[in-house]
Amino acid sequence: MILSRYLNREVFSSTLAILGVLFAIFISQRIVKYLAQAASGDISGTMVWQMVLLYSPVLMGFLLPLAFFLGCLLAFSRLYVDSEMAVLRSVGVSEKKLISLLLPISVIIALSGGAVSLWLAPVANETTYQIRDEHASKLELSMLEPGRFQIFQEGEGVVYADSSDNPSHLGNFFLAELPSEASPYTRIISAKSAQRYYDETMDKNFLQLNDGYVYELDANKNVRKITEFENYYARLEAERSIVSRRKISATPTMKLLETGDGASWAEFHWRLAVPLSVPFLLLLAVPLSRVKPREGKFAKMLPALMVYIGYIVLIVIFRKWVEAEKIPGWLGFIPIYLVMALFGFRLLHAHGRANNKNKVKKAKD
């Protein structure tokens, strides 16, 4: 029990430190990207930190298996360098026994990664799309250009306005709204001037039209009603003004299983790979971390990273095959997991034989 707590604490602290470093590197790159978008006016300054906050769980899910793999490598390499592994082997603790002792931390990492990749990351992606759509709707209002007809409200209307000396006002405003589910009549609104603004209290976009008329036309284009107004307020519903096309990364996991096409299966297995990778990476990390005391604890880091990169490349290839339905969707990445398991057990078996030979040799000496 004492040894198990010691090993789990070592791996956990190494994993946490590596995750922090990797997260800081990647999130800083994303912050730079968002700040550039804010500088060009694509997003607001407030949105920068909202986007960073929402991107964090997505990034965490991506980095967690790698951080755990490197954490195991560093922790066990240090044990080899400090000759602690030699002591453990002398009392009968094999590499297979070490893997079983690390099951508690691997289960915690796998469950955390699964919660992030299967639930939290899709929610964060969908929220990001909603924020971008809402911001785009606000931009739609502010981007009305005087002197030209423009499509408005996703094709439900056409708007025209002359320029004005006041930058926040438009002159000789014209708005035509086509029949919709809310109203079966065509409405034409004309006004001498219009003011555009965003009400932060109501979180709505408004156009205030001044001194004009509202013409309501029936299906035969006959005028059925004329209304004169001094001030008229037209509200632009941000929630339905612009709805961008979502990537499949924003789709809830259960909906992926209901859809069942190639793209949905590929995305499902991509998310499932985060928790399932943890036990297989542990199986590889323990034998790959084996170093001689004089080699240093980073001696096997490069070969181990090459193994991890090969694993990610296989994941990407199989994802494309599943998307293209070249292999069954239910099969997913199972062949990759089998290869990793065979490779890991092969390394453990080879190390076990080498340890036995050393014991026999020492006994003869």
Predicted confidence at residue 209, as pLDDT, reads 83
Q: What distances in angstroms separate CA 223 from CA 74, 186, 189, 338, one per listed residue? A: 79, 9, 13, 73
Longest Cα separation, the chain: 110
**Residue 63 resides in a domain:** yes
pLDDT at site 261: 87
Q: Domain end: 212, 235, 258, which one?
A: 235
- Residues belonging to the chain: 365
Q: Residue 194's domain spans which residues?
A: 148-235
Backbone angles phi, psi at 48, to 5 degrees: -55, -50
Give the span between the Cα atoms of 12 and 109, in whole angstroms: 9
Task: Give me the pLDDT at residue 338, please.
Answer: 94
Cα–Cα separations (whole angstroms), residue 101 to 6, 87, 272, 302:
10, 16, 24, 26
**How far is Cα 15 from Cα 24, in angstroms, rounded to an integer?**
14
Residue corresponding to tokens 């004009």: 212
User: Do 44 and 115 fall within a single domain?
Assistant: yes
Q: What is the pLDDT of residue 315?
A: 93
What six digits make up the tokens of 73? 């490598």
Q: Are residues 266 and 315 in the same domain?
A: yes
Same domain, 16 and 108: yes
Q: Residues 18, 115: one domain?
A: yes
Answer yes or no: do 122 and 14 share one domain.
yes
HSE toward the beta carbon, residue 147, CA cutoff 13 A? 2
Out of 235, 255, 276, a domain closes at: 235
- For residue 137, what are the contacts with CB-CB under 8 A and spacing of at least 6? 205, 236, 237, 238, 239, 241, 242
109 shares its domain with 256: yes
Same-domain status, 185 and 256: no
CA 359 to mean position of chain CA atoms: 50
Note whether 6 and 126 are same-domain residues.
Answer: yes
Take residue 322 and report the two structure tokens written for it: 């599943």
133 vs 126: CA distance, rounded Å: 11
13 and 132 fall within a common domain: yes
Backbone angles phi, psi at 168, to 5 degrees: -95, 5
Closest CA to 287 of 83, 82, 72, 66: 72
Amino acid 201: pLDDT: 65
Cα–Cα distance measured from residue 75 to residue 295, given in angstroms and rounded to the nearest whole number: 15
Q: How many domains does the chain have?
A: 2
Q: Which of 181, 212, 235 is a domain's end point?
A: 235
Strands (E), the chain: 150-152, 157-162, 169-177, 186-199, 204-217, 223-236
DSSP one-letter code for 13: H
Q: Are 293 and 200 part of one and the same domain? A: no
Indicate whether 280 and 205 sit together in one domain. Answer: no
Average confidence (pLDDT) per 10 residues, the chain, 365 residues: 82 91 92 82 76 89 91 88 80 80 89 92 88 67 65 70 68 81 81 73 71 86 85 62 67 88 91 92 87 76 89 93 90 91 87 70 63
Q: How far is CA 365 from the centre of its chain?
A: 58
- Whether 214 maps to a domain, the answer reads yes
111 in the same domain as 27:
yes
